[in-house]
């Protein structure tokens, strides 16, 4: 275990002005707080925070970060409190420790939700101070180095979490050395046999290729020196997890990998990088498709370098990275390389592109999603492989590999994504689900009033897009329910003979236990709150005599709230509309001359999250007399008035809605109907049935057949027709066929 003086010496080695008293106080405080606590390995628990601090001294971090590392487990695992940390040390250190402390009590949440909530807390703390991230990554690294002492099941869970979240997070922050070690430690715990096999193959290859690597280093350095370029050339072998990932991704064997060794060329100036590239490419042939310039187009984590692969000395494929000394330091240490010293005191530069990306991402992910969704979206955002695309104005957009124009649109702006209806890629119209490639120029076509389809959520690959689509569709559905609820309440107050206004409803919110009138409208629209209860809340002396009478209809009397005949249509935007054509209603709300009630509700819904749907067994078509049944959380189901299924709702009058059809004579929409046939069992009988439907421009959606006897077959056909007249014509023609003994319409 590291001694007190050793910790101080490590910090003062790079920061001579370090606060020795503060470091000593933290050491003693943490040692006393952890006392006799032991780790799973049997070592004193206090050894762990000291090792975390040691990792951070290698990154040359400031006193507050080192002290926070020493104290990071005290509030979570000992009797120490945050108030005490603030008092004994500083509020700055207390804030860092708080960001690293897990939430202890999480009521009524799953383990995955707890994981997500803790991760949300961590990321929000990181957004406030990036040093929290550096301590957390060092903490995870030391835990992974000692993971062998944990039970097998816990090892696998922690290793998978590290691979899913912390290694990609280190990568996004540009800390490649730390990322690679986290990946390898996860790999050895998740797939120990595979790791051992690859490690042995790499060891054997390294022994055989040692002279070859040295030879390539010498040849490269000599070529560059001859061109007057001072450069350091270093060869390195790729690590086991990197090798295994490439084998899996490209489905190749170990022997087929030709770039196990990589070489780094380090020069002093940016322009020298391109001069070195010229020497390399004019000396050895370049491998097509293997050149990337991350100097002119840096990665979001500030990584800058030129990548190229050539057929080098001894006909070996050589993978090269050409960069400056500063780029090399940022490439290895990432955000930690931005520790600057001013007046003897260190400051982390928050201008880092990686840190700015992280803060923007956290702000987007923190907008109201559940803990599980937050964790899922964060994983999506941490994917490493990227493609770089451009807007027509030349703005660079970096996206995960596999991203589509939908992801691109949301990366530009949430409003652009929500209103996207089409895309052009490199000037050509392309589907919104086209996978984007490096260098694509993407132009998004938009339409006002567009709502993103809910199906997009499962098709996009960025967390930002997925979260925005989910919010937009939830918002759209809520607006639909609220609109329906408002119409239901308008009619309910009219029937009760009471005045209705938003102001009156606001006065009743406490009695309805809702925060806003919009909440009330949405609850009524969903069927979670009955309209009569709202009337009573606004007018406490109101008695709904109509409801009581309607709950016990007399034999032979019409069902409550039943509507008359009309027509239904689906608009081109897939909006379901139900309204009445025809005569106006009387002032008292009664229908004139037997015409349907003009006070009936025009119902609208979207096909992706339908508020209005048809009866599952038989549907309804224009010309049918219909009624709407409100189901809590599901919306309105439209039944033909003759449907026997309506008997189940006789004692629930609040669920019955007057609905009216709104059909456009020019509409080309079809509606569902079901026919039950008995056909003679002979060759070609079904072909004749199908031909009748085809001749009458009907569309068969589904068919089921069951042999009744040796001579007859029962056939059920779900079909789509224009209206009742169209359906009756098909039925009449079928009845005229010799092979059909009986045909009836099914009304579920």
CA 743/CA 676 separation, integer angstroms: 6
Residues of the chain within CATH 3.30.70.260 domain(s) are: 672-745
Establish how many alpha carbons lie within 13 A of residue 131's alpha carbon, considering only the half-sphere containing its beta carbon: 27
Residues of the chain within CATH 3.30.460.10 domain(s) are: 194-339
Determine the pLDDT at residue 379: 57
Determine the pLDDT at residue 357: 62
Establish how many alpha carbons lie within 13 A of residue 335's alpha carbon, considering only the half-sphere containing its beta carbon: 29
Residues of the chain whose pLDDT is less than 50? 103-110, 340-347, 349-350, 368, 383-384, 549-599, 602-610
User: The sheet that has 712-721: what strands, in order across it?
Assistant: 699-707, 712-721, 671-680, 740-745
Q: Are 42 and 1 in contact (CB under 8 A)?
A: no
- Structure-block tokens of residue 286: 């370049």
Q: Are 699 and 719 in contact (CB under 8 A)?
A: yes
Determine the pLDDT at residue 93: 92
Determine the pLDDT at residue 554: 44
For residue 480, what are the contacts with CB-CB under 8 A and spacing of at least 6?
Answer: 525, 604, 605, 606, 609, 611
CA 273/CA 267 separation, integer angstroms: 7
Determine the pLDDT at residue 405: 95
Q: Does domain 194-339 have CATH number 3.40.50.1100?
A: no
Q: Which of 475, 460, 470 is nearest to 411 (CA)?
A: 460
Determine the pLDDT at residue 27: 93
CA 1/CA 43 separation, integer angstroms: 9
Which residues belong to the active site? 76-77
CATH code of the domain made up of 672-745:
3.30.70.260
Determine the pLDDT at residue 578: 43
For residue 251, what are the contacts with CB-CB under 8 A and spacing of at least 6?
Answer: none
Q: Please count the other Cβ atoms lying within 10 Å of the Cβ belonging to residue 461.
A: 18
Dihedral sign of CA atoms 514, 520, 524, 527 in order: negative
Residues of the chain within CATH 1.10.3210.10 domain(s) are: 4-190
Determine the pLDDT at residue 491: 79
Which CATH superfamily, name and number, covers 4-190? Hypothetical protein af1432 (1.10.3210.10)
Own/partner pairs, 186-191, CB within 8 angstroms, 24+ separation? 186/144, 186/159, 186/160, 186/162, 186/241, 187/163, 187/240, 187/241, 187/244, 188/240, 189/144, 189/147, 189/148, 189/155, 189/156, 189/158, 189/159, 190/156, 190/159, 190/160, 190/163, 191/244
What does each C-alpha distance from 425 to 390, 412, 444, 453 come to in angstroms?
10, 15, 9, 21
Determine the pLDDT at residue 552: 47
Q: Return phi, psi of residue 68, to 5°.
A: -60, -35
**Over the range 273-296, which residues count as b (16 or more CB within 10 Å of their CB) and which as e?**
bebbbebbeebbebbeeeebbbbe
Q: Which of 498, 723, 455 is nearest to 606 (CA)?
A: 455
Dihedral sign of CA atoms 646, 648, 650, 653 in order: negative
Determine the pLDDT at residue 210: 74
Distance of CA 708 to the CA centre of its chain: 50
């Amino acid at each position: 275990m590291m001694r007190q003086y050793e910790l101080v010496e490590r910090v003062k080695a790079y920061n001579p002005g370090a606060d020795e008293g503060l470091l000593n106080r933290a050491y003693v405080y943490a040692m006393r707080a952890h006392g006799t606590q032991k780790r799973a390995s049997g070592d004193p628990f206090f050894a762990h925070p000291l090792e975390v601090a040691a990792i951070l001294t290698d990154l040359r971090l400031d006193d507050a970060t080192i002290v926070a590392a020493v104290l990071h487990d005290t509030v979570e695992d000992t009797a120490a409190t945050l108030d005490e940390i603030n008092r004994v040390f500083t509020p700055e250190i207390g804030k860092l420790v708080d960001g690293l402390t897990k939430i202890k009590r999480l009521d009524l949440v799953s383990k995955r939700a707890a994981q997500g909530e803790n991760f949300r807390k961590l990321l929000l703390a990181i957004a406030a101070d990036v040093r929290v991230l550096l301590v957390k990554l060092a903490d995870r690294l030391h835990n992974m180095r000692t993971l062998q002492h944990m039970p097998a099941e816990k090892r696998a869970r922690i290793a998978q979490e590290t691979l899913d979240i912390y290694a990609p997070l280190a990568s996004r922050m540009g800390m490649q050395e730390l990322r690679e070690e986290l990946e390898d430690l996860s790999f050895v715990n998740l797939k120990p046999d595979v790791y051992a096999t690859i490690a042995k193959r790499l060891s054997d290859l390294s022994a055989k290729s040692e002279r070859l690597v040295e030879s390539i280093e010498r040849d490269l350095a000599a070529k560059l020196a001859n061109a007057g370029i001072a450069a350091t050339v270093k060869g390195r072998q790729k690590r086991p997890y990197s090798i295994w990932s490439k084998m899996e991704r490209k489905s190749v064997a170990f022997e087929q990998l030709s770039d196990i060794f990589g070489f780094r060329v380090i020069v002093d100036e940016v322009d020298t990088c391109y001069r070195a590239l010229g020497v390399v490419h004019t000396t050895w042939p370049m491998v097509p498709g293997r050149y990337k310039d991350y100097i002119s187009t840096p990665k979001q984590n500030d990584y800058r370098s030129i990548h190229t692969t050539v057929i080098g000395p001894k006909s070996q494929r050589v993978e090269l990275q050409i960069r400056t000394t500063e780029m090399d330091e940022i490439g290895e240490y990432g955000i930690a390389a931005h520790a600057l010293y001013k007046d003897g005191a260190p400051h982390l530069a928050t201008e880092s592109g990686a840190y700015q990306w992280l803060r923007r991402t956290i702000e987007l992910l923190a907008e109201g999603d559940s803990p599980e969704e937050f964790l899922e979206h964060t994983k999506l955002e941490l994917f490493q492989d990227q493609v770089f695309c451009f807007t027509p104005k030349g703005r660079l957009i970096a996206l995960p590999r596999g991203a589509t124009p939908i992801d691109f649109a949301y990366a530009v702006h949430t409003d652009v994504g929500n209103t996207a209806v089409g895309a052009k890629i490199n000037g050509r119209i392309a589907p919104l689900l086209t996978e984007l490639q490096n260098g694509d120029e993407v132009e998004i076509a938009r339409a006002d009033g567009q709502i993103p389809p809910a199906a997009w959520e499962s098709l996009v690959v960025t967390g930002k897009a997925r979260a925005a689509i989910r919010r937009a569709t939830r918002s759209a559905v809520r607006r639909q329910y609220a609109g329906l609820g408002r119409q239901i309440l308008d009619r309910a107050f009219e029937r009760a003979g009471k005045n209705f206004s938003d102001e009156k409803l606001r006065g009743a919110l406490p009695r309805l236990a809702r925060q806003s009138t919009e909440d009330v409208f949405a609850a009524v629209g969903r069927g979670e709150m009955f309209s009569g209860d709202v009337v009573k809340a606004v007018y406490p002396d109101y008695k709904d005599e109509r409801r009581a009478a309607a709950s016990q209809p007399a034999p032979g009397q019409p069902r409550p709230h039943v509507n008359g005949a009309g027509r239904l249509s689906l608009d081109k935007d897939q909006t379901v509309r139900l309204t009445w054509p025809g005569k106006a209603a009387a002032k008292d709300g009664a229908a004139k001359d037997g015409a349907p009630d003009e006070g009936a509700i025009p119902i609208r819904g979207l096909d992706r999250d339908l508020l209005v749907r048809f009866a599952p067994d038989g549907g309804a078509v224009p010309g049918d007399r219909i009624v709407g049944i409100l189901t809590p959380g599901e919306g309105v189901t439209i039944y033909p008035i003759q449907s026997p299924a309506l008997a189940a709702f006789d004692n629930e009058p609040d669920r019955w809605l007057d609905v009216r059809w709104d059909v456009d004579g020019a509409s080309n929409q079809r509606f569902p109907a079901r026919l039950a046939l008995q056909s003679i069992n002979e060759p070609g009988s079904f072909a004749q049935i199908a031909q009748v439907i085809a001749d009458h421009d009907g569309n068969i959606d589904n068919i089921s057949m069951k042999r009744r006897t040796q001579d007859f077959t029962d056939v059920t056909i779900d079909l789509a027709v224009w209206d009742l007249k169209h359906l009756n014509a098909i039925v009449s023609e079928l009845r005229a066929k010799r092979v059909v003994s009986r045909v009836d319409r099914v009304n579920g």
